[in-house]
Structure 1
């Protein structure tokens, strides 16, 4: 990767890191807040988080379309500005202890608006890299994200011991800082498609590309697995193992530190093998890491499971983004990456809801049961990604350094 390109990726990685640091201060602890402070059951709290995740599915598709039509930076900035307002309102609802319905309405709005940034950001990364550079580029973004993820929940775990609302106010403040940073540092080289109007029906029709549809399905499965870190592990450790919140925050931090320190080496490994092979390895690591959690009751061994799952994440996340970028045409990058985020958020919603159900109906009978189910799902996703090699060219699957030819879009742009 050229020095100029790497510098651009570092800039957008810092922006992503600031956002995830702010996210980590507050939102991972919202499930615990609903259960411990508002009296919701685990399954009800999981349903709330799942419904919020479904709202992100809709906004992810909208973001991808708008990013193609109006520009990447415009969507990133205005999406963040709207989320700041919603996040501040959510903090006020918690501070004033308003009726649960109003608080959840603000939470749903916050999560809906929060999905606007990533599809536009990923499209910006794709615009500024070649197919050969994308695994490394998305790896750099992951490092930025996970520096934020490593620091945010650790700080948030201590902050929520004193005030849940203050955590959300600080999140809004960090999002405002990110807007100022983006305005000063990021230039958008994308030429908006003036002749094309946003068409969300056409975005859904992009799934006529069977390869995109398959990738999105496997992403749903592996993202449901990954989401257990936020909801499933929190409920497991708090409700069944009676661990304090700051222990749970440290699990999030361990997950983030894995990517911060090992993402570079994972990227080097992925450059030497097919993307489909790398994705299988990543899913297998998820299976071993999360599949073992239910058998442990101490911090150290659970942290080991989180570490192994983190190794899987640092392979799977840049891999899935690179696969989708490589099969998309120049005109549909935002749309394809938006659809990826639709199914990413659908997987998160399914994982959040499933975590609550497994905690209420499986764990009381056999504590390792939920985690064995999660491990099996990870292996299913890995098998699917492995089979994808049959429908990918060598270039798309990352086997050679030959640039992927620009393909004509077979899906209508209108």
Structure 2
């Protein structure tokens, strides 16, 4: 669905540019509010119940979207879906952590499998979506999404329903983040900020400068998801036997420096190296960061793990949203090479220079 949302706003809903800008601008307050609510619900009604609620309500909203084809209705439907998705992201991440023992290496394997499933969805989903969009239309993508969420509910019911919060009357809807959680929030923001360039900076640079076909760019993005789906779990299992501190440094370096391969080679070989290296960096870094996020939440916010995990996932969402704006600005004032150099420097300095990751991995 997300792959074709931008196209649908213009071609299916026939929205003028101003309303498209308004739609994407709504993403910021939606992220802030939804992740706060997601953390609260995860702690109060439990991980399983929050997942079921998000799946059920998303199914209803997407089903309504099949019939409501007006442009304004489209904005409302897609905004609500984005809101509900935050509930699912927070509760599923927290549930993944609770299914494992609270040690970095055990969590690393759990979150590696978690990410492998997500990447597999990103391999299959856009292919199915492209066929549906081309042959029968956008609203049938919404209908299939509605049915998919509905079918997933019985699977979610097999989970344990873990509650973390105090169910008293004087419930706290916010948490006071520890200094360790604040550092993790910053790390998540930087990580998402840099990784999001696969969907924007990479696409713009490849089509505008290297003159690569947009169809070929789609294959490169699918390749990134395929690499994650195939190698995330076995690499994650192998990493549990290694020194994770050094793996984190290696992942940070590979992840950030992958941007330099694009314009140093300036051809399809550079694009291929970029996709391979940034995928490898994500395979190494993503489960480590998620594992440390859960460890910090568990250790310092035991009565509000959902709220703490929601805060880190909110930082990830804001990083992805903010990256598009900043990169567009960099592209407007610098040439593309300088912009990617700046992104590489931000990534490697920001990811390596944080104390909480090293402390957690050493302990």
**Same-fold call, TM cutoff 0.5:** yes
Aligned 8 A contact 1:220 1:346 in 2: yes
CA drift of 1:249 comes to 3.1
Q: Which residue in the other structure is 2:126 paired with? A: 153
Other-structure match for 1:62: 37
Q: Do the aligned partners of residues 303 and 131 (structure 1) sit closer, same or farther apart at CA in structure 2, a change above 3 Å counting?
A: same
Residue 379 (structure 1) aligned with residue 348 (structure 2): yes
Which piece of structure 1 moves more, 343-352 or 174-183?
174-183
Question: Are 1:122 and 2:122 an aligned pair?
Answer: no
- CA distance in 2 between partners of 1:118 and 1:238 (Å): 32
Q: Does the aligned pair in 1 maintain the 2:165–2:304 contact within 8 Å?
A: no
2:275 corresponds to: 306
CA-to-aligned-CA distance 1:345-395 (integer Å, 9 cap, x gap): 111111233344445x14xx623343333222211222233x3356x2xxx
TM-score (norm 1): 0.75
1:13 matched to which residue of 2?
A: none
Question: Are 1:173 and 2:173 matched, yes or no?
Answer: no
| CA contact 1:157–1:249 (8 Å) conserved in 2 | no
Q: For 1:331, which of 287, 303, 313 is the aligned residue?
A: 303
Q: Is the 8 A contact 1:289 1:308 kept in 2?
A: yes
Three-state SS of the structure 2 residue aligned to 1:124 is helix
1:346/1:175 CA distance change after superposition, 3 Å: same
Distance change in 2, residues 1:244/1:268 (3 Å): same
SS at match of 1:345: helix
* 8 Å CA contact retained: 1:68, 1:335: yes
Aligned positions of 1:76-91 closer than 5 A: 76-91=51-66
Deviation per CA, 1:191-226: give whole Å up to 9, x if none: 7643265533x32x2x2x111101111211110111
Quickly say closer, same or farther: Cα 1:384–1:317, change in 2 above 3 A.
Answer: same
- Matches of residues 7-406 of structure 1 in structure 2 within 5 Å? 26-34=1-9, 48-49=23-24, 51-92=26-67, 96=69, 98-99=70-71, 101-132=72-103, 133-162=106-135, 163-183=137-157, 185-190=158-163, 193-195=166-168, 198-200=171-173, 202-203=174-175, 205=176, 207=177, 209-237=178-206, 246-273=215-242, 275-294=244-263, 299=268, 301-327=270-296, 328-329=298-299, 330-359=302-331, 361-362=332-333, 366-385=335-354, 387-388=355-356, 392=359, 396-397=360-361, 399=362
Distance 1:310 1:350 in 2: 21
Contact 1:292 1:372 in 2 (8 A): no
Deviation at 1:39, TM superposition (A): 7.8
Where does the alignment leave 5 or more consecutive residues of structure 2 unmatched? none
Q: Is the 8 A contact 1:50 1:353 kept in 2?
A: no
Inter-CA distance 91–371: structure 2 relative to 1 (3 Å threshold): farther
Q: Count matched residues.
A: 356
Provide closer, same or farther for how the CA distance between residues 292 and 90 of structure 1 changes in structure 2, counting only shifts above 3 A. farther
TM-score where L is the length of structure 2 = 0.84
**1:69-106 superposed Cα distances (whole Å, 9 cap, x missing partner):** 1111111111122222333444555xx4x33x443233
In 2: Cα distance, 1:232 partner to 1:264 partner: 28
CA deviations 1:323-362 (Å, max 9, x no partner) are 1221223323222111111111111111233344445x14
Contact 1:51 1:349 in 2 (8 A): no
Q: Would the aligned equivalents of 1:278 and 1:315 in 2 still touch at CA under 8 Å? A: yes
